[in-house]
Amino acid sequence: MPLTPGQILENRYRVDALLAQGGFGAVYQAWDVNLNKCVALKENLDTSPEAQRQFQHEAQILGSLTHPNLPRVQDHFLLPGQGQYLVMDFVEGEDLEEMGNRLGAPLSEDYALAWIDQVCDALVYLHGQNPPVIHRDIKPANIKITPQGKAVLVDFGLSKIYDPRLKTTVGARAVTPGYSPVEQYGRGTTDARTDIYALGATVYMLLTNHEPQESVQRTIHDDLLPAQQVNPLVLPVIGQTLHKALSLSPDQRYQTAQEFRVALANAAQIARRDRLQAWQRRAEEYLRLGQWDATEAAARQILTVDPQHAAALALLNQITQQRSVTQRYQALARTIAQAKAEAVVLAQIDPRQADPDGVLILLNAVPVAGETSARAVSAPIFPATQTASSPALRIGAIALLVFGLGAALLGGVAAAAAKSQVEATLASQSLGIGNFFFGLGAGLVALAVAWLNLAPMHTRPETAIISVVIIAATVATVLGMSAASGAISQVTATQESQNLGVGNFALGLGLSLSLGGLLLGWYSRRH
């Protein structure tokens, strides 16, 4: 007959609520009026003389057990004609079956395996007793998670002392479909490997949210899918470990709880390593594609598993730096864009506005947000000077062109007149040609330097051309001076020979100055 709320047993235990009920008994929440605390009251309805003797013996052994992941059996008694009762610690918390139903999805592998490791430790303790204690009813509903996160293996209603000489008694033959191995049906012999099968089935359920196929059905047609096929998030190494624990033959399972515990821990470590490596590769790929938010999410996912993961921490640090640089760049770009707009307005108000520091040139060279091309900013070869107005540039260009043409004309006439009066030797030719290149090179060097100082274009392609001109002109000057100085000692020093050298020098200088006048005129039209 079921117990009723308010009923008091043994003048001590007040029944408060029914927690669970089955064919062999029930579990109640009760209140110990002597100790003033909540307890769990386990009822077994088998009152046969044999069951009573076995109950007394086993209750005494269970009462001696002390383990952090097991409830303590603190009392036991018989009510003749009614039932046998175990009084145990009441464990606060949610059992794994309730948790799975609430979530409606597989449990996190890290949490599930950490809790199962604690249950394995409890089984190692139970199976290590002399004689061993076999639980025989491991399932998600019998594993409670306390508010502190500790897993406790509860419900010792079917626990029996293992005796290899005896078959499992009728009172201990209750089964839970999906979790009980085939030897627990009928009058098969159960031992520690029975608990290993049930625990493997429990892990299978936690990681897949699917109850395993019942063992007796598997003997007819084994349709049990590997855990990784039911839930692709379960890595194969975990699935293989569970498949061995769920072997129909006890000899093919793990033989001890410690062996299963070690195998599961090793598999979890390998799975954790492989999963972290996959997440790291994904995060690095996101970073390569410039997807910073996705990179950060992947890195933080890694850190939830391994808070000290060096690569994930480095990725987060890199993302933080890149975002900081981007924010500073965007602020700078807005400032530059505003300065450029103000410079345009200023130039419209006063075209003669000087730019002694080259600010306008730098602003025009710095890329801003929205531009399709980025131009590198390099330091000018010479400091920027005030930019002359266009009329002044035109006058200077005309003056330089007239002066250059005049110098070239006079130098050409003088050289031609002197050439007819100087003996035509190799030395005289070297004197004329050397002075020509000397004048041409000197003029080009002076023009290039003046051009860079007058109109700095250190971010434009013309800079490279002018640099080449300077190098070529310098070479021409050196070669010309060398040829002229070597020939002058071999030519008779007469007025005609002097005219030949000076005339060719003036010719080269005039040509280079004329070229400079043309370029200056072109520049004045653009500005």
Q: What is the pLDDT of residues 313-322, one digit of tens each?
A: 888 888 888 7
* Architecture label for domain 8-89: 2-Layer Sandwich (3.30)
Average per-residue pLDDT for the chain? 78
Contact 481, 436 (CB under 8 A): no
Write down the pLDDT at residue 331. 81
Give the C-alpha separation, 368 to 338, whole Å. Answer: 10
Report domain 94-274's class. Answer: mainly alpha
Q: What is the pLDDT of residues 371-426, one digit of tens each?
A: 444 343 333 433 444 445 566 666 766 766 676 567 666 666 666 666 666 666 66
Contact 421, 516 (CB under 8 A): no
Q: What is the pLDDT of residues 6-17, one digit of tens each?
A: 999 999 999 999
118 closest CA partner among 138, 98, 134: 138
For the chain, what are the domain ranges?
8-89, 94-274, 311-377, 390-526
Per residue, the 3-state secondary structure of 86-155, as one string, reads: EEEECCCCEEHHHHHHHHCCCCCHHHHHHHHHHHHHHHHHHHCCCCCEECCCCCHHHEEECCCCCEEECC
Write down the pLDDT at residue 359. 59
Same fold, 8-89 and 94-274: no
- Torsion of Cα atoms, 271 then 275 then 278 then 279, to 10°: -170
What's the pLDDT band for 33 if we cut at 50, 70, 90?
Answer: very high
